[in-house]
Structure 1
Amino acid sequence: MAVAHHDRRMRAFVLHAPGRATVEEVPAPVAVPGEVVVDVERVGVCGTDVEFFTGEMAYLHEGHAAYPLRLGHEWCGVVHAVGDGVDPAWLGRRVMGDTMLGDQTCRRCRRGHQHVCEHRQEVGIRGGRPGALAEQIAVPAWSLHALPGTVDAVLGALVEPGGGSLRAAQAAGVGPGDRALVLGPGTIGLLTALFLRADGVEVHLLGQTADSLAFAGSLGFDHVWSEATLPDLPFDAVVDASNAAYLPALALDRVEPGGRVVYIGLAGRPSLIDTRTVALKDVTAVGILSASPGLADAIDAFASGAVDPRPLVAATVGLDDVAAVLAGVRPPGAGPGPKIHVDPVTPRGAPPAPRTPGGHIAR
């Protein structure tokens, strides 16, 4: 882990306890061997960050994380410094980084599953690795992904949620002529729906609130439903991207025999499915934890324009506004999308980035 150099300081968002956070001057990171320091351009606020803010996050109760915490794992930026053993060609490059940092030596890591390494750190989440809600972040060089010029700061900070969503869409195993149902039109559900649509799938979305369903409709999804209106159609795949404990069972109930259910959402309490139904319907059930194996493909999809998730970003705020966002306060002037972004160098009280007619952030 990068060791701080106490002569240089930077601003960072520090969470000290549930509901108690400050923006502080902290020692800036230095690039230790094998690592880089990145000037952070943009950071996404995620449901995981909210769980740390409320104190509900399971890692707090399992010993994988402890206050004080430095949050922020959906980020992009420009490489500022490189440590010994790192290719100097990284300097000045725009990058994003993998959240999951396996130890690189255990059996899982050697078999290509570093994102489920038992001893992994998770940037801004697990194992004391400081996150990106700061002016700079230090990460291992091997975790970097270069961003092409067509992937701007907004898209760059959407690559991390995009990677997991792309994996969910791929795990659904559907294509042209198939029909898929996505449960939960939040950031992950909508990203998954966008990737499925790009593959020619007929996509249906199930949500709870009129606003979330209207926003999904504004993205061009014609089949948006509440539980009361969901039609009795054959769904070749169902993706649960919700946090509702009862919806995994609904996913299994609504999928066609021989189809696939994908579980990427996490509820706050145990969710139950009947494995007899899995067997009797000959269904494949897949769990998705991490974006890691999907990051490169997500970058390609964003760079080519095959998927444009920028309308999901409702506003871009500064570090001083993060605590309010985590407490559930919508920034003034925010659009209808589910995602809030943070620009770590935006001063306190700056207005949210202006929106273009297409719903994109104009910054």
Structure 2
Amino acid sequence: MRALVLTGPGKAEVQEVEPPVAAPGEVVVDVERAGVCGTDAELFTGGMSYLRTGRSWYPVRPGHEWCGRVTTLGDGVPAQWLGRRVTADTMLGCGHCDRCRAGRHHVCGDSAEIGISRGRAGALAERIAVPVTALHALPGSVDSTMGALVEPGGNALRAVRATRLGSGGRLLVLGTGTIGLLVALFAQAEGVEVHLLGRDLEDLRLARTFGFAGLWDRPALPGLRWDAVVDASNAPHLPSLALDLVEPAGRVVYIGLAGTPSTLDSRDLVLKDVTAVGILGGSAGLAGAISAYADGSVDARPLVAATMGLAETVQILGGHRPPDAGPGPKFHIDPRR
């Protein structure tokens, strides 16, 4: 089968590889759609921290935002999975440690991440093998575009839940990439008053179409009460800005990762009595994201700028944006093309 293979920093190609085999407890899925994520780009450039720690290595086959249809069952897998449209949790814990048994498999010390770490092949390929325990079934109302947005949606929903805001609360989201916009959409669906901070007005072009309460660049940001702030950016100076802006006794949620270390003054955290939360992975939010997509309360399809063929993935990873692409930050790949 065809699969995208990253062979070294800045080096990638579509190769013919051996198709996956369903081991006991696993299924093989024909991939319908896969998203290209910032993590995939970091693996491509060589900037991913896992490459330095030995958690990831070349060659690597990326792709952890995806959906498809189950075509093969391994031993011990219930027959009802055959033919079902699914996506899956990216984070695969060992299943035996205290963290896994407590439902925190996403921070298992021996976890593998699909398309990212421990050599677990990803979904930028025609087929993928996945443990049945990681699968999430997709209802018919969730199309391929939305199905491949479940994983980032799960991350965003976890960030929204971590704000502890309900209807009438005011949220400021820093960053207008895929995660920032998804955070804003999930929060808006729960009745939160949502504001976004972008780099400039052009950066907010797509956000204008969603009817959020406020869209701002830094000079225009008003001095409102921010009950919670979500940093969904990759800018190293914004974690401290989030802490500066949040209301005393409010909550700051960090889901973005900068390429260089960020600094903030823990004295400000203490003296403002602020709760800070870090979000890693969408595991606990996947089911909720599927439900929100299925009932129509969140429509994330405008975030996808274009859907392209597998061979075009290398251009996307290299930063090329097709001239006919839409305004969204996300690119999807149809590996069947």
Taking structure 2 as the reference length, the TM-score comes to 0.99
Task: Report deviation, 1:15.
Answer: 0.7
Q: Give 1:39 deviation, angstroms.
A: 0.2
Structure-to-structure mapping, 1:133-172, within 5 angstroms: 133-172=124-163
Secondary structure, aligned partner of 1:268: coil
Matches within 5 A, 1:34-113: 34-113=25-104
The answer for the alignment partner of 1:361 in structure 2 is: none
Once the two structures are TM-superposed, the CA of residue 268 in structure 1 deviates from its matched residue by 0.8
Aligned mates of 2:330, 2:213 — CA distance in 1: 21
Does 2:113 match 1:122? Answer: yes
Number of residue equivalences: 337
CA displacement at 1:209 relative to structure 2: 3.5
Q: Percent identity, aligned pairs only?
A: 64
1:147-180 per-position Cα deviation (integer Å, ceiling 9, x unaligned): 0000000000000000010000111111222111
Where relative contact order (Cα < 8 A, 6+ residues apart) is larger, the structure is: 2
Question: Displacement, 1:20?
Answer: 1.0
What is the Cα deviation at residue 275 of structure 1? 1.4
Give, in angstroms, the shift of residue 251 of structure 1.
0.3
Matched, 1:337 2:328: yes
SS of corresponding position for 2:152: helix
Q: 1:180 is paired with a residue of what secondary structure?
A: strand
Partners of 2:277 and 2:203 in 1: CA distance: 26
Q: 1:292 aligns with which of 283, 290, 300?
A: 283
> Following TM superposition, by how much is the alpha carbon of 1:19 offset from its aligned partner in structure 2, in angstroms?
1.2
- Residues 201-239 of structure 1 deviation map (CA, whole Å, 9 limit, x = unaligned): 111100113332111112222411111111111100000
**Rounded Cα–Cα distance in structure 1 between residues aligned with 2:263 and 2:49:** 18
Q: Which whole-Å deviations, capped at 9, do the CAs of 1:105-130 have from their partners, x for residues lacking one?
A: 11110111001101000000000000
CA deviations 1:44-76 (Å, max 9, x no partner) are 000000101111000000000000110000000
Give yes or no for the alignment of 1:273 onto 2:247: no
State the alpha-carbon separation in 1 of the partners of residues 322 and 28 from structure 2.
30
- Unmatched runs of 5 consecutive residues or more in structure 1: 1-9, 347-363
The reply on whether 1:323 has 2:314 as its aligned counterpart is yes
**Amino acid in structure 1 at the alignment position of 2:267:** R
Give the corresponding residue for 2:298. 307
Alignment-mate amino acid for residue 184 of structure 2 = A
C-alpha contact (below 8 Å) 2:60/2:121 kept by paired residues: yes
Structure 2 residue 10 is matched with structure 1 residue 14: no
So what's the TM-score if we normalise by structure 1? 0.92
5+ unaligned residues in a row in structure 2: which ranges?
none
Counterpart of 2:211 in structure 1 is 220
C-alpha distance in 2 between matches for 1:229 and 1:154: 34
Secondary structure, counterpart of 1:29 in structure 2: coil
CA RMSD of aligned residues (A): 0.8
Find out whether 1:183 has 2:174 as its counterpart.
Answer: yes
Report the Cα distance in structure 2 between the residues aligned to 1:12 and 1:218, rounded to whole angstroms: 35
Moved over 3 A (4+): none
Return the alpha-carbon distance in structure 2 between the equivalents of residues 147 and 246 of structure 1. Answer: 38
The 2-side partners of 1:87 and 1:332 are apart by: 46
Which letter does structure 2 place at the counterpart of 1:214? Answer: R
Worse-matched range after superposition: 208-217 or 253-262: 208-217
1:276 Cα deviation after fit: 1.3
Cα deviation, 1:285-313, whole Å, max 9, x if unaligned, reads 11001100000011000000011100000
Which whole-Å CA distance do the structure 1 matches of 2:203 and 2:85 have between them? 33
